[in-house]
Structure 1
Amino acid sequence: MPYPEGHKLKVRGRIIESAAKAIRASGVQGISVPFIMKGAGLTHGGFYSHFDNKEQLVAETCRFAISETIALLQKAADKETQAPKIHAVIHFYLSPQHRDQTEVGCILPALSGEVSRMSDEVREVFTEELQRMIDFISDLAEVDPLTGQALLSLMVGTIVLARSVSDAELSDSLLSTGRQHAKDLIKTSVQS
């Protein structure tokens, strides 16, 4: 009996979702195809009927995860009623919850350290998706693209460092300082 229409696409989606969660939590080098497939509730033997290799999966996962992050950040912005909407995004991105829940957070901090050693295909997709995040942040903050680059760099760098240290007070301080400097960067850009 054949599978229902759309079955293969649904399975592929489950694999990508599993990969996104795993990469966010452990990076690309820290996970295996069997681990990803198990997370999707599948055996690893079926992987190659959906993807040519792990790097193709990483590239598609990057696209999926950035779309998820943009939707999440847009939702945070849409809830803001008084302050500039970008402030809600800054508070959400540089929050203890985002720091601590790596498996559902932004994929940029997880991939940034590894992507330079990956294939051209992955690097091209990462570049496209990074640009999409810069555009989203720039548009929401109503700043020029260079300021958007600086703002996103500040946010990603802050979350990377806040996740990296073993001192809880320092981690919280990094988040707080990052939030303040991100807002200051926007304020300075608007005044210029």
Structure 2
Amino acid sequence: MTAETRERILSTATKMFLDKGLGTVGMRDIMAGASLTPGGFYRHFQSKDQLIALASGTAFDRAYAMLEGETTGKSPSEAIEIIVSVYLGQSQVADKPYLCPLAMIGAELRHSDPQVRAIAINGYQRIVQLIASRLENRTKRAALVTAGGILSTLVGAVTLAEIAPEPAIASAILSNAKALIRELVGRP
């Protein structure tokens, strides 16, 4: 029961942090969302920072697994197109099960403790490696540089689309990012 309760808290926290941000979600909110009393939090976690670290790691693992699964067996050009489309579409999906912490709470992560920032950088590096492995006709170094630029563009576009005041502006931001990445990887 304890492991199940811990997982329920972690799952609730991951979703709430990605949907609402780190600063606006308190322990009471998370425990209420998990249908638990606030006093039980410290039986499962040492601190909010520990929970943020675990939730961020969980979110990165989900995003990576989903991107990897969607692109396995695809041609390099198809894989890049899928990664870009899925990543840019994450802000428009109602349930949002695979949100990337870089785009959804990246600005807040810079204020987190070193462990949380290390998890974020590791998540970034894993996704860059995944993108680089799907690029063709490049040296390993060139693929990593291009992949880093692609992921930075994706993160920035989703972040800006999330704060856009109108859907048309958000759509234009996402479309521009997709067009830029297509040009970067040599696709019409």
TM-score bracket, normalised by the shorter chain, equals 0.7 to 0.9
Classify the secondary structure of the residue corresponding to 2:121: helix
Matched, 1:155 2:154: yes
Q: Kindly indicate whether the alpha-carbon contact (under 8 Å) linking 1:134 and 1:145 is maintained by their aligned counterparts in 2.
A: yes
The counterpart of 1:48, out of the listed 37, 42, 45, is 42
User: Residue in 2 aligned with 1:4?
Assistant: none
User: Residue in 2 aligned with 1:10?
Assistant: 4
Q: Kindly indicate whether the alpha-carbon contact (under 8 Å) linking 2:76 and 2:135 is maintained by their aligned counterparts in 1.
A: no
Q: Kindly indicate whether the alpha-carbon contact (under 8 Å) linking 2:60 and 2:101 is maintained by their aligned counterparts in 1.
A: yes
| One-letter amino acid of the structure 2 residue matched with residue 8 of structure 1 | T
> Structure 1: 5+ residue runs without aligned partners?
1-6
> How far is the alpha carbon of 1:78 from its aligned partner?
4.3
> How far is the alpha carbon of 1:32 from its aligned partner?
0.5
| One-letter amino acid of the structure 1 residue matched with residue 38 of structure 2 | H
- Take 2:8 and 2:73, find their aligned partners in 1: how far apart are those partners? 29
- Take 2:76 and 2:120, find their aligned partners in 1: how far apart are those partners? 34
| One-letter amino acid of the structure 2 residue matched with residue 29 of structure 1 | G
Q: Kindly indicate whether the alpha-carbon contact (under 8 Å) linking 2:21 and 2:104 is maintained by their aligned counterparts in 1.
A: yes
Cα offsets for 1:135-178 (capped at 9, x unmatched): 22222335621211111000010011111111221111111111
> How far is the alpha carbon of 1:79 from its aligned partner?
8.3
> How far is the alpha carbon of 1:120 from its aligned partner?
1.4
Classify the secondary structure of the residue corresponding to 1:12: helix
Q: 1:145 to 1:83 in 2, by over 3 A?
A: closer
Cα offsets for 1:54-82 (capped at 9, x unmatched): 01100111110011111222333248579
Percent of paired sites with the same residue: 26
Classify the secondary structure of the residue corresponding to 2:110: helix
Matched, 1:99 2:98: no
Q: Kindly indicate whether the alpha-carbon contact (under 8 Å) linking 1:15 and 1:37 is maintained by their aligned counterparts in 2.
A: yes
> What is the aligned residue count?
180
- Take 1:79 and 1:118, find their aligned partners in 2: how far apart are those partners? 37
> Structure 2: 5+ residue runs without aligned partners?
none
Q: Which moved more, 1:155-164 or 1:66-75?
A: 66-75
Classify the secondary structure of the residue corresponding to 1:31: coil
User: Residue in 1 aligned with 2:112?
Assistant: 118
Q: Kindly indicate whether the alpha-carbon contact (under 8 Å) linking 2:77 and 2:134 is maintained by their aligned counterparts in 1.
A: no
> How far is the alpha carbon of 1:118 from its aligned partner?
1.5
Cα offsets for 1:4-63 (capped at 9, x unmatched): xxx322222211111111011111001011111122222221111111100110011111
Q: Kindly indicate whether the alpha-carbon contact (under 8 Å) linking 1:14 and 1:40 is maintained by their aligned counterparts in 2.
A: yes
